Structures are given as structure tokens and as C-alpha cells.
Structure 1
Amino acid sequence: MLEQLLIFTRGGLILWTCNELGNALKGSPIDTLIRSCLLEERSGAASYNYDAPGAAYTLKWTFHNELNLVFVAVYQKIFHLLYVDDLLAMVKREFSEIYDSKKMVYNDFDEKFRQLRKEAEARVEDMKKSNQVAKPVSNNNLSKKQGKVQKIGLTGGDNKKSSSDSGSDGGDGEKSKGRKSENGNGLANGNRDGYGKSTAKGSTNGKENESSNNGAFDVNKLQKLRAQGSKKTNAVVNKVPKVEPKKKITKKNRVWDEAPVESKLDFTDPVNGDENIVVVAANEGESMMDKEEILSSDSDSDDSEDEDNEDGKMDKKPDTKKKGWFSSMFQSIAGKANLEKADLEPALKALKDKLMTKNVAEEIAEKLCESVAASLEGKKLGSFTRISSTVQAAMEEALVRILTPRRSIDILRDVHAAKEQSKPYVVVFVGVNGVGKSTNLAKVAYWLQQHNINVMMAACDTFRSGAVEQLRTHARRLQIPIFEKGYEKDPAIVAKEAIQEASRNGSDVVLVDTAGRMQDNEPLMRALSKLVYVNSPDLVLFVGEALVGNDAVDQLSKFNQKLADLSPSPNPRLIDGILLTKFDTIDDKVGAALSMVYISGSPVMFVGCGQSYTDLKKLNVKSIIKALLK
């Protein structure tokens, strides 16, 4: 049953809704569709499923890009309404004829909608009846065809052709190839019996094997070829120079009386060793987080030239193949009435390939292109405008919307707000193995220190050997407190005690380090879900590498899925932000940032770009888009 049909502008002005249905929607499916799908460049999808407590809806939509209108239909998820697509298309066509940009109310469209709905429902009923009538006929035809196929398969091909063509003059190459493909049993020019003997003269690639009428090949020739081959190989082997055997490396004897080079190798715990060790606080200057990245005008001009050149290349492919030079030039000068999907496909294909070469996951690149096509289809192409330039501009706008965060996350502001409430601000770092969680946690701590914020580290990686010592080294260099309980402890309990300790000693921020875990490791993912559920952190940061491509989609989607499935809360806590590491190693292949943001909807809050504590910066959206599209 259709619950709602809504017509509104891209600016959010509701023009018409069907009043006759009278059903109040549970939850907010339309708002969720706009936030999660239309604004996030997922409008190329066929439908959207909205699930909420007591509500399960399916939403379908279409656009009128020339008039900037959106048509949305909502119906119960358990019903599969076949007429919704046709109804949306008819409503779009009829409403566009009466639409006036100065008019706000369209009460006169109610009667027209009732007619269109009845027409769409009647069309589906006629389709069902015609399918039911046509079913037995199609089955009979299918059984006849299957009988013919089985008959042909049993006889081994067309017997008339095989008998006439397998005469003594069977040297025609084309005929023998045709017979070979017709027989279907892999034999050429004649049938063989069950023991592999040939009953007719053999033919291979259209040439007769006249040397022997009884066998498939001449044994004498084969023996001669083998003898010649063995002589050649022997000659080649004799020419190869002898390799001298390597001298055996003898191991030097260890001298045990010598004093060791270093009296102490482990400097991580000064309490157990020499207490006189003095650690100088790390002061490497201002963090890159507080520096604004400025793009030079030279690079901008170069990029614009590259974009123009790329536009030219992209435009030549679709236009020269289909319409020729003159027609393509005339179209760009005079403009095109309405863009169709076929016009956009060549430019979108080139753009998809470009995104994939920049390390964007294939699935994400394809969805982006579908969304851009949905936003351009039906639009009028202006004069002196190329299709490729229009597609590139639309893609650039889409990338800006995706990479710009949906909600503002200002850590410094949130820390001060938590400080006023006399509680510490808790950040949990999660991610897979070896991405650099501990190192970048120390970079974040260094940046917070520069803003006069008291930081405490919590060593909750109780799984990996050496993790506590690594974090302890960073804490000592930064001269900040660390809370640790050793190994083989429950990380959720360690984090809880660390937060309590931070409340007692007046720390403003608690940075929780967790063990690296693969997204398919359920025991470790269950422990992480418990840590997040028990401690309710203010920020959950996913630490991922900028080197990954398609794996970024799998990692983030499964982390979010596991956090949702394994949490006992009805409203589970998911990933809030992304910290992208090893960004200085990828040159212009920055597609992982786009893939991660698109799949999770969370912003990239930090970018790690080096080994020192200052090498942490913000994501520059403009530079990312330039790198992706140049």
C-alpha cells in the first residue's frame, strides 16, 4: 500500500503531497532519505530502505533536473508495489506541465493524481493477467525446443551434412571448421567410436592427414621430432658454463669475555633500571594541525589546464565515434535540448576509470558516476558547453558534498564543554593491525598539549606484546601521565578505571589506545564493542591507511556492522571520525579518503603525514578533489 507521495524542490520547499492516503508516517523516512542518500550522492541507487522501531518503509524517487524537482514515493517494505516506478514517471510528466516557479500550492493536482494511480494499477493488473495467460504457451515452446536440442545432442550433429561433407575431397578448410563446431562432441570431420578410432578420414584445421588413414597422427614423425628435440636440448645444455659451487660461509666464534656494547637495552621503564635517566620533553615546534595549507596559484593554473586537456580527451571519445566532428561542434555551440543517459555514458566511463587509478574503490566510483548521471539526466546543455566539462563540474560538486562533514566536530570546543561539566573528554582509537594507532595517538596528544589541555593516555592494548611499552615511551617523551594495567586484562575495565583516574587527577582528555584487529576477528571485535558500550566515549576514531583501496570499504563497513551487531544497546555507537595515516607515501592516489568517507559518512578529522609529533594536519578538501580529477 502506498503510504506517501511527495513533490518538493531541491531547496526543500514542499509543493504537493497526496492528502487522500491520510497515513501518518512513523519516524522520519523523508528526512533520513535526504540526509543519508540525496545529500551524500547516493541518489543513483534504485531505492532506499528505512528501518526504525515500529516502521519499515521502502522509498523510491526520481528527479526533474531541469526544474530542480524531486518526486518521492513511500510504501510499506513488506509490499512489493510494481506500479510505483510507472506512477512516479507519470506524475513527473504531468506535474512538470503545470509547474510554475512562482506558485506554491497545487491542490488542483489531487484529481489528476487519482487518475494516474488508477491507470498505473490497471496497467500492472493487465501485465499480471497477460503473464498468466502466456505461461503455458511459453512452457510448451520451451519443451519443444528442449526436445530438439536433446535430439541433436544424441545424433551428434546434422547427419546429412556430416555424411555428404566427409567424402574423399574433404580438404576445404572452411567446411571442416564448420563441421567441427556443429558436431558438439569435439571430433573433426567424422564420428569416432567409443575407443577413439576414426571411422572417416581425419581433418585438422581444414587439412587432411594423408600420412595415415587409420590413426590420428604419424608415429614415425613423432619419434623423429623427439630425437631432434633431444639433440637440440643437449647442445644447449653443453653450451651453458659450469657454475662454480659457492664457498661455505663459516660462522665466527662468539667471544663471551668481551663486555656488552650497551649496559642496558630497555629504556622504557626507568623505575626498574637506572633512575638517573633524564628524558627531555619533546618540543618539535608547532603542529601542522594549526597551519592552514595554501594552494599555489601556479598549481591551480596547471591543474585547470590539465582539466581542460582531459576534457578535450574525454569529449573526443564519445563525439567522434557517434556523431562526427561537425555534429559535436554544432551541439556544443547550439546546446542540447535535454541530456540523455547515452550522452553521459562515455564521459562517465572515462571519469570512473580516472577515479579508480587514484585508488578509489571500484564500487564507490561506480555509485558516484550513477549519482552524477541521475543529477544530470534531463538537464539542458548550455551553448558552448561540452558534455565532458558538464560531467566534470557535476562530479566536482558531488565530491565537495561528500568530503565536507555533515556535522561539525570541533574537538577543542567539545573538550572545553566537557571540562565545564567536570568530566574528561574520552577518545577511543580503533583500527586494523599495523596502521599506526599508537604513533598517531601521540601526535594528537602533542597537538592537544599545545592548546594547554591536560592529556592522559590509557594503555588498553592488552593483547599485543610491547604495546604498553611503546605507549609508555611516548608518554614519557611528552611528559604526560599514562594509565596501564599490563597485559591479559579486560580492555573495557582498564579504560573505565583510566577514566575514573582522569576524573580524580584533573585530566581534560583521555586518549584510549586499543589493540589492532582485523574486521573479521569476532572475539576481538566483541571486546571492542564492549569497550565502547561500557565507557560511552565522546569520540570513536577509526585509524586507517591511505594506501588501501578496495579494502577500505570492507574494513569500515565491517567495523561499523560489528559494532552495531555486537552491542547490547538498541542505539549502538558507531565510528564518528577517521584518522588517515601514511598520507605522505601516496602522491596523488588519495582515493582511500573518498572511499572511507563515502562508505561511513564520517569525516576525515586528522591526516598523518610523517614520523614526528608535528606531522598531523587537517584534510584539505580542495587539494583532494584536484588530485582526484586532474
Structure 2
Amino acid sequence: MLDHCSISHKGGIVLWSRSFTPDAAQLASSSASPVNSLIREALIEGRTAEDRYEKDGYAVKWSFVNDLELIFVVAYQRILQLTYVEDLLAAMKKLFIQYFKPFVASFVASLHSVNNVKTAMNQATTWDFATTFQRWDTLFDKLLKGLEEQASQDRKSRLRTAIRQPIEASTPPSDDQDTVPANDPEAPLDEQQIARNVAALKSRLRGRGGRRGGRGGRMELSSGRESAVESDSDAQPKRKTKAKVQRKWGDEAPTERDMESLDFSVDKKDASNSNMGSHDLSSLVDESSLGTRTVDGMYEVKDWDFSRGQGANDDAADAIARALKPLDAKASGSEGSLGAFGSIFSRLTGSKVLTEADLKPVLEAMKQHLMKKNVAMNIAEKVCEGVGENLIGKKVGGFQTINNAVRVALSTSLTRILTPKTSTDLLLSIRTKLSSPLPSNQQRMPYSITFVGVNGVGKSTNLSKVCFWLIQNGLRVLIAACDTFRSGAVEQLRVHVRNLSVLGVNGAGDSKGRVELFERGYGKDAAGIAREAISYARDNDFDVVLIDTAGRMQDNEPLMRALAKLVSVNNPDKIIFVGEALVGNEAVDQLTKFDRALRDFSSASGAGKGRGIDGMLVTKWDTVDDKVGAALSMTYVTGQPIIFVGCGQTYTDLRQLRVANVVQAILKD
């Protein structure tokens, strides 16, 4: 059953709406309406990676009529699988335009004739939509009733087929079975056939009961095939398990000197730490990739350089200008590249209104180009659909005008998707919290950041890079070892803390007080360790707590629930998803399921109610060249920014992304 339908103008004026339940009517009038969220988050910001938009248990689908500037929206509960929604949207568009196109065209023309939004809104109130669209209510009711009846008949047909198939599959072979075709649902069954079906069902039920009771209970068919399989399997001898043989490392027991040479676990002498600073400093810090100091002394990491030999700090305006330059059609003759636009548009001459048929080959070429840049296929399709929806119905003239219109539309769409809706200045967020006034009886809490992701993407390594950046900005950092599952996870963080203590601020060394490791060993509750670490940081004047979590696959529900528990119990200030730049479509699946699991499982209780991913850190960025589609895919899914990218093996190999540079790299042939 539907919850809400509406027809609106792109300017925000609702021409007609219908709510089917009291809750839906109340929700539709509130700011938390899924339709309002759709307009704000999906249509205006252009961020939705699926065929439908989901919000607070509702699924929303929509369709445009660009020449009349209309938006048709249908909302229903996400748990319901309504198969007729797309047919309903298509039929609504066709019927509404057929009966009310002159009226809507006059209304849109009147809005365009005024100069400011306030006057347009006042003028819209003078139009009597209720009287004009009174006939539409009857048309809509008939349309909806017909589609619901058709969907109900389809469900009943599928149910009859599903019930009939097990009966036919379980019927034992018989000499006279060919007299009744098994695949003919209308053929009558005689008494013997019905009796055989009933006997087969009883036999299957007995077989199921035997399997529940013990492994020996098998369903016995008249052919005896199951019995033969059982006897054959029982006749096979069981494989004997070989006992483990103790490993021998040598003919003789190791001496104390041998054991000492193999001991890498702890600092054996204070002198070894002092010598390490000069001996291994070059392997920990790459001087060429060090960031810069601002006028007020803040340490900023470098911007990622796509230009290969040109300066990385180009102005954003110059980067956008380069991205919008017409591509050389002669230099790019491949069928699927953006360079093919020239040959396609050369056939379009004179002034005309763009249609779907005109744009179809262009959008296909655009989709292929985005996929070559490692953009996930479904997201490339949605981006191209958005560009097409904005261009269909527009009047353009001449080859150059059409070419520029498509390029500008694509660049604008990519820029809108990649532009973050929240601040990417992590240092500003930290200093704002640390400097905010507090009551005299309240102790200041540290800024906490949780790093999450699948196994092996580099969470611990890139956490240490972020820690180096924070130390260079004069902050005291506590690293919480909450990966209590993977062997060596705590020891890995201990090595990072030792190295970072040697480096210090500005490479001056002796910064043991600026970074510490908080660990409670293995096999403990990660949420409890994080809570203790935050309390320890509060009592010992640490500024930031970096929480390292165990890697887990996005489909592992028990582990995702445990991660959601850590979030709901500790309510970290930032949840950063760490993903790889190489995995393409898999990164989208990982990020989507992590975000949804955190929101669903952390909403049960705790201060972190409904928390999702707040930002991303993409690792192995130096391996993808200009195929930076992972950035577009990951930002498109959540609408959250990419805060950093990892690009090497030293603590200085951390970079920031500029939107203009990413757009330029994606548009580049």
C-alpha cells in the first residue's frame, strides 16, 4: 500500500498530493518528511546511488517532466515490495500531461514572468489547484486501483506456481504419468494422481522429520536412489586425522644469544631508542611529501597532485576552466570516450529542443567514460540520468552550444556530488570542541575519532598517519587499541607509537608525552576498552582519542552489531570509514552496508542514535593514477566528504583532495 503521492513544481510548489494513512499525512506536513528529504538530499545535492531513495523506513521513487518543470513522487514503506510503483509513475505522467498540460504550461509561464521568488510564491497562491485538479483525483483512483488489482493477480499466480512446483517435483515416476502433462496447470488430475501426490508429500515430511531427529533419517523414494546414496556414503572409510608434529627449529636448543637476536618485542635498552631517531628517521618521514606550515603555525598536509609535473596548488578557478575546455575530438577517436561527443553532435544542427533520442548516444558515451575512470556502474548510470534529465526539453542551437551544454552539465553534476555538505576541516572541529566553554563542575572530554572498515585496507597504518598530523599541530593523542581479535594488532600500534614518539613535533624528537597507547590485550569487549580509553584521556588531559577497530566484512551481522555497540556506547565525534581506491564497485557495497548497519543497529539505544559514516579515508590512492572514480562513488553513496587519502608507506604520506582537481581528473581523456 502506498503512503504518499505528490506532483510538485521544481520551485517547491505542490500542485497535488495524496496521503493514504494518518501517519503519512502527519509526516508529509513535517520537516522530516521523506519527500522533503528527497528534495533536499537527492534532488538538490544529486546524491542517491540507487533506483530509489530511502529515509526513516520509507522508500521514495520519483520522475521528472522537464519541459513543464514537474516532479512526480511516490512514497511507501521500505519493507513493502511494491512492484507497480514504476508503472504508476509512468502512467501518472502520461495521464496528467494529457489532461492538464495547457494549465500547467500557463502556470509555469506566469512564474517565469516575475522577477523574484517572493512574488512568484504569492502569485502561485492565486491559482486554484484544488478545483482544477478535482478531476485528477478520480483518474488517479482508477489508475491506482487497476495497478493494485493487477499486482494482486500476479502475486496469486506466482503463489500457485510456487505451491505446484514442489508437488510436481516430488511425484514418483509412473508408467501412466505421461497421460497428464506436468507442466499444464489447467489439466485435470485423476484420483490415482492425487493419491500419488499426497503420498509423496507425506514421504517428504517424514524425511524432514528424520533429518531433524538424527543424521540417519533419510527420505526413501520408490526408486531407492536415496538409500543407495546413503549406503555408499556409509561404506566409505573415515579419514583419520593426523596428529600434529612438533616443529624443530634446529638440531640443538637455541642459546641465550640466539634468543636475544630474535627478540624484537620491546625496547631492550634506552640507547636503542636514542640511536633509532638518527638511524631510521628517513624511513619514517619522506621529506619531499611533508606538508606546509600556515602563517599561524598550523601543519597542513599537501593536496594530491593530478597534474604530473605541474604545481599541485593551482587555483580552483583554473582547474575548473581546464576541466571545461572542449576535448580534442581528433585525439580521442575511441567509441566510448568523451571525445566522441564531437562526432555525435556534429549531426545536430540549427536550433532545436533536445530529446531523449538525441542524448541517448551521448549519455552512453559518458557512462562508458566514467566507468573507465573506475566509477561504479550503477552510479555512472545515475549520474548520466541526472545530466539527461536536466537537458531533456532544453532548447539549444548550433553544435558548439550543444557541446558546451553537455560538458557544463556534467561538470556541474560532478562538482555538486563531490562538494561536501559538512566541513572537511578536521582540525577546526577539534579546536572548536576543545575551546568551547564548559560549566565549572564539568570536565572537558577529548575529541574522539573511530576508524572502521573491512579487513586489510590499512586502518592502523593510516590511523598512525593521522596521528602524526595531529602531533605536528601540537595536540596530545591517545591511541585506543580496540582491535582485540587480530593477532599482532596491539603490537603493531605499539610500534607506531614508539616511532611517533621518536619523531616528535617538527622532527625535534622527545614527544613521548604527546602520544600514548591504551590497550587491554586481546579477547576483550572493544566498546568497554574505548570507553575506558576516553575516560583515561579525559583524566590525563589528552586532546584526541583515535580508536582503532577490528576489520570486518560488511555482511557479517554479529560483528557489525558489535561495532554499532561501540558507536552507541561511546558516541565518537567522527566515524571515518577506511576504504581502498582499487576495489571499485566493492567499495560502494562496503560503504553502503557499513553506513546502513551502523544507523540501524546503533539506533536501539545510546547517545549515538542513528549514527552513520561521517567521512572517508581512501588508502592506496597512489596506485590509481587519474582513475579516481572511487572518490565519486563513495561520496555519491553517503554524501559525506573524503577527508584524507593515503598514498605511501611513511607517516607523511597523507593528502587532501580538492573538488576541482578531482573533476578535472574525471573529465580528462
8 Å contact 1:454–1:507 — kept in the other structure? yes
Aligned to 1:616: 654
The answer to whether residue 101 in structure 2 is matched with residue 97 in structure 1 is no
The C-alpha deviation readout for 1:219-254, integer Å capped at 9, x for no partner, is xxxxxxxxxxxxxxxxxxxxxxxxxxxxxxxxx998
TM-score using structure 1 length: 0.69
Task: Pick from 502, 521, 537 the counterpart of residue 486 of structure 1.
Answer: 521
Aligned pairs for 1:304-383 (under 5 A) are 304=325, 306=327, 329=346, 331-332=348-349, 334-336=350-352, 338-383=353-398
Q: CA deviation at 1:299?
A: 12
Task: Pick from 497, 502, 518 the counterpart of residue 553 of structure 2.
Answer: 518
Task: Pick from 10, 31, 38 the counterpart of residue 36 of structure 2.
Answer: 31
Task: Pick from 467, 474, 479 the counterpart of residue 445 of structure 1.
Answer: 467
Q: CA deviation at 1:304?
A: 3.6
8 Å contact 1:492–1:534 — kept in the other structure? yes
Counterparts of 1:553 and 1:119, CA distance in 2: 41
Aligned to 1:287: 291
Aligned to 2:664: 626
Aligned to 1:278: 273
Where 2:452 maps in the other structure, the secondary structure is strand
Q: 1:88 to 1:426 in 2, by over 3 A?
A: farther
Task: Pick from 51, 56, 63 the counterpart of residue 51 of structure 1.
Answer: 56
1:108 is matched by which residue type in structure 2?
Answer: W
Q: CA deviation at 1:92?
A: 5.9
Aligned to 1:401: 416
Q: CA deviation at 1:278?
A: 2.0
1:564 is matched by which residue type in structure 2?
Answer: R
Counterparts of 1:617 and 1:315, CA distance in 2: 29
Where 2:385 maps in the other structure, the secondary structure is helix
8 Å contact 2:616–2:644 — kept in the other structure? yes
8 Å contact 1:462–1:487 — kept in the other structure? yes
Counterparts of 2:570 and 2:261, CA distance in 1: 39
Aligned pairs for 1:160-171 (under 5 A) are none
8 Å contact 1:311–1:389 — kept in the other structure? no
CA RMSD in angstroms, aligned pairs only: 4.0
8 Å contact 1:73–1:88 — kept in the other structure? no
1:369 is matched by which residue type in structure 2?
Answer: C
Where 1:532 maps in the other structure, the secondary structure is helix
The C-alpha deviation readout for 1:65-111, integer Å capped at 9, x for no partner, is x57x3434456658978464345545566312332211432333423
Aligned to 1:390: 405
8 Å contact 1:583–1:609 — kept in the other structure? yes
8 Å contact 2:319–2:661 — kept in the other structure? no
The answer to whether residue 611 in structure 2 is matched with residue 573 in structure 1 is yes
Q: CA deviation at 1:477?
A: 1.5
Q: CA deviation at 1:617?
A: 1.3
Q: 1:548 to 1:307 in 2, by over 3 A?
A: farther
Where 2:133 maps in the other structure, the secondary structure is helix
Aligned to 1:85: 93
Counterparts of 1:315 and 1:542, CA distance in 2: 32
Aligned to 2:64: 62
Task: Pick from 554, 577, 585 the counterpart of residue 550 of structure 1.
Answer: 585
2:266 is matched by which residue type in structure 1?
Answer: D
8 Å contact 1:311–1:388 — kept in the other structure? no
Aligned pairs for 1:103-502 (under 5 A) are 103-104=120-121, 105-106=123-124, 107-110=126-129, 111-121=131-141, 263-270=260-267, 273-279=268-274, 284=285, 286-287=290-291, 289-292=300-303, 293-295=312-314, 304=325, 306=327, 329=346, 331-332=348-349, 334-336=350-352, 338-385=353-400, 387-420=402-435, 421=438, 422-479=444-501, 480-502=515-537
2:64 is matched by which residue type in structure 1?
Answer: T
Q: CA deviation at 1:536?
A: 0.8
2:93 is matched by which residue type in structure 1?
Answer: D
Aligned to 1:217: none
8 Å contact 1:459–1:468 — kept in the other structure? yes
Over the matched positions of the two proteins, sequence identity in percent amounts to 40
Unpaired segments ≥5 residues, structure 2: 115-119, 153-177, 182-248, 293-299, 304-311, 439-443, 502-514
8 Å contact 2:484–2:523 — kept in the other structure? yes
8 Å contact 1:44–1:371 — kept in the other structure? no
Where 2:348 maps in the other structure, the secondary structure is helix
The C-alpha deviation readout for 1:262-294, integer Å capped at 9, x for no partner, is 944444422xx3344324566846437444532
Counterparts of 1:115 and 1:534, CA distance in 2: 54
2:105 is matched by which residue type in structure 1?
Answer: S
The C-alpha deviation readout for 1:340-373, integer Å capped at 9, x for no partner, is 1111111111111111111111111112112221
Aligned to 2:208: none
Which protein shows a greater Rg?
A: 1
Counterparts of 1:520 and 1:131, CA distance in 2: 32
8 Å contact 1:43–1:374 — kept in the other structure? no
8 Å contact 1:42–1:367 — kept in the other structure? no
Where 2:479 maps in the other structure, the secondary structure is strand
Counterparts of 1:456 and 1:510, CA distance in 2: 5
Aligned to 1:71: 71
Q: CA deviation at 1:402?
A: 0.9
8 Å contact 1:268–1:472 — kept in the other structure? no
1:39 is matched by which residue type in structure 2?
Answer: I
Aligned to 1:220: none
**Count of matched residue pairs:** 496
